[in-house]
Amino acid sequence: MAAAHAAAEHEHHGPPAPHYSSRVSPSVLGMFLFIASEIMLFGAFFTAYFFVRVVNGTPWPTPPFHLPVFVAGVNTAILVTSSFTMHWALQSIKRDNHNGLKAGMLLTFLLGLTFLVTQAREYSRIGFNTGDGAFATIFFCLTGLHGAHVFVGLTLLLFTTVRAFRGHFSSAHHHGVEIPGIYWHFVDAMWIVVYTTVYIL
């Protein structure tokens, strides 16, 4: 017995298998911690917004500029819809519904791409630039920061969609769908905050 035990120890290489005390997997927990750091980043920009608009009393929007509230509202509906399609994709693969996963991922990616293209078109027609006062600077900083996050999210969605069509996921192995989905839901939720703050209030 002692010899067998010694032989087993000799054949084992590397660190021992990890044991997790939490019900949340390390990858999901890592994504939540990353999102927490991103919320702090957005918080810094919202602080600048607060000082420019509330403390300094800068008119919002500063005349003669106008914000395309209606177009941004349609874009908001597009992004919110993409959250539902992302949820559909994840629930589908949890039931081993591969067609539902593919359709959900493809729709989510296309909706997100539509949002980003619409925002770029809005920039080209908005009539002011970053140098046109504090209002314009904060507007482009907040919406541009969010746009950068949408671009990162679309990159993750593209890889996930390709993997979905290659059959890489199943009900037992769907973390590759869940983690980008968490990030995408964060992007959607953050846009609702940006849209309400910048365009509505």
Tens of pLDDT, residue by residue over 163-189, are: 999 988 888 888 889 999 999 999 999
Tens of pLDDT, residue by residue over 39-55, are: 999 999 999 999 888 88
User: How many whole angstroms separate alpha carbon 15 and alpha carbon 195?
Assistant: 48
| pLDDT attached to residue 52 | 87
Of 76, 90, 78, 77, nearest to 182 by C-alpha is: 90
| pLDDT attached to residue 57 | 83
User: How many whole angstroms separate alpha carbon 146 and alpha carbon 173?
Assistant: 30
| pLDDT attached to residue 55 | 84
Query: Over 60: is that where the pLDDT of 5 sits?
Result: no
Of 196, 69, 66, nearest to 132 by C-alpha is: 66
Domains of the chain with bracketed CATH:
26-200 (1.20.120.80)
CB 10 within 8 A of CB 164: no
Confidence of residue 13 (pLDDT cuts 50, 70, 90): low
| pLDDT attached to residue 144 | 93
User: How many whole angstroms separate alpha carbon 162 and alpha carbon 177?
Assistant: 11
| Rounded mean pLDDT, 83-111 | 95
Residue 164's contacts (CB-CB under 8 Å, 6 or more residues apart) are: 89, 93, 98, 101, 102, 105, 177
| pLDDT attached to residue 181 | 94
| pLDDT attached to residue 152 | 95
Task: Tell me what percent of the chain is helix, strand and coil, each rounded to the nearest 5.
Answer: 75, 0, 25
Query: Over 80: is that where the pLDDT of 17 sits?
Result: no
Handedness of CA 179, 180, 185, 189 (dihedral sign): positive
Tens of pLDDT, residue by residue over 109-141, are: 999 999 999 999 998 888 888 788 888 899 999
Confidence of residue 88 (pLDDT cuts 50, 70, 90): very high
* CA atoms within 13 A of residue 70's CA, in its CB half-sphere: 0
Distances (CA, A) of 27 to 91, 149, 179: 19, 19, 8
Residue 53's contacts (CB-CB under 8 Å, 6 or more residues apart) are: 60, 135, 138
